[in-house]
Every structure is written in structure tokens, then in C-alpha cells.
Amino acid sequence: MDPEERSELLLRVMEARVRGKREHTIAQELGIPLAMVRELSVEAVEQNLSKVAAGAIAQERWIAAAQLEAMIESVLPIALAEVTDDAILGAKVSEDDIGAAGSEYEARRIKATANAKRAQLWAVDRMNALVERRSKLLGLDPPTKTAATDPTGEFPAVAPPTLESVLEGLRRKMLEEQRAVPVKFTVMEVESDDGARSLLGPVAGGEEP
């Protein structure tokens, strides 16, 4: 059965199930095995659930993006605000502030400017966080590459040794141990029972033969 025929059968099974027909009746009307009717019924349900889930996710993403946009719009005026005359006249100052500034107006202007700077720094920080969250939500930023770490998160992750690396380490260790064994060259003249003479050596391990 080609994909086009299967899609047509799937649609007809869905329509029959919606009208309340039983699987046996659908199988007889469409001339297909009962097992295929059940398979197509399950596939139809899965497709509908996938569409519903995808739609719900898209809707939630749209709502979240709209909320972030509204928050950005509310914070943006604070980040771009300038010191106004009303802010200067409404600034609260002390006698010490007036004495240090030289006049009450100058003291209020300095206080209002400082208040505006603090508000702007806060607003810029919030703006950055909101814009970053919106970008991640909408997939505007490329994926960030992260380095793997150990369970503590403090040190880079180390890949477990492979069987080949373990065997290679053991082989090298055995070669090093063999090279470290002292060899004592001892030359001895030995006479056999038949009177022949021969020389023996070297002797490993420093032991006499």
C-alpha cells in the first residue's frame, strides 16, 4: 500500500469512527482487515494528539512572548528617561545636601539625577534579562556550546578509559619493569663430566648460577 492510499484509508477510518461506527463495521465497509482498522485508528488518535499538543505549545509560547513584550515596553521608558523639572522639584534633600551643593535647586538636581541613574541601571538590567528570555523563547539566538564537566560542575569531564588504553598502559608498565631488572654479567668456566670446558653468563637478577 502506497502512502497516498494509506492516507486515504486513514481519513475514511477517522470519519467512520467520528460517526460512531464500530471497527468490525468499518473493516467490512472498507474491505480491509480488522487489524488494519485498529492500526489506523490508533494512528489517527496519535496524529490528533500531536496536533493538539503542538497547538497548545505554540499558544503558550505566543502568550509568554506577548507577556515578555509587555514587560519590555513597561521597562523601556525607565531606561530611556531623562531628568525632568518635576523630578528635580520633587527630589528630597537634606540641609547637608544643600550646603554641599551650594543651593537648594542644585541639591535637588543632583539628587534627582542620582535617582534617575539608579532607576536606569535597574531598567537596563531588567531589559537585558527580558530580551534574552524572549530570544531564547522564540529561538532567535544560536545554540550555545557548553563544555562537559564532572558531577560537581567545577572540573572538565574526563572520558572513561577504553579497554585498548588500559591494555596499552599495562604493556608499557611490564616493559618498564623488565628494563628495570638488573642484569649481572658473570663469566664462569665450567668443566663437564667428559672434561669439556664452557663459559656461562650473563645471569639476570644478580644471582650466581
Phi, psi (degrees; rounded to nearest 5) at 145: -90, 125
pLDDT in tens, 7-32: 888 888 888 877 778 888 889 988 98
Q: Are 93 and 166 in contact (CB under 8 A)?
A: no
Tell me what pLDDT residue 86 has: 86
* Helix (H) or strand (E) segment spanning residue 26: helix 23-30
Q: Which sequence spans correspond to the domains of the chain?
A: 1-74, 81-141, 181-209
Q: Phi, psi at residue 82, to the nearest 5°? A: -110, 160
Q: Tens digits of per-residue pLDDT, 33-85?
A: 988 888 888 887 777 767 766 777 787 888 888 888 888 888 888 888 888 88
Q: Which helix (H) or strand (E) holds 95?
A: helix 95-101
Q: Which three cell numbers stand for residue 19?
A: 460517526
For the entire predicted model, the pTM comes to 0.44
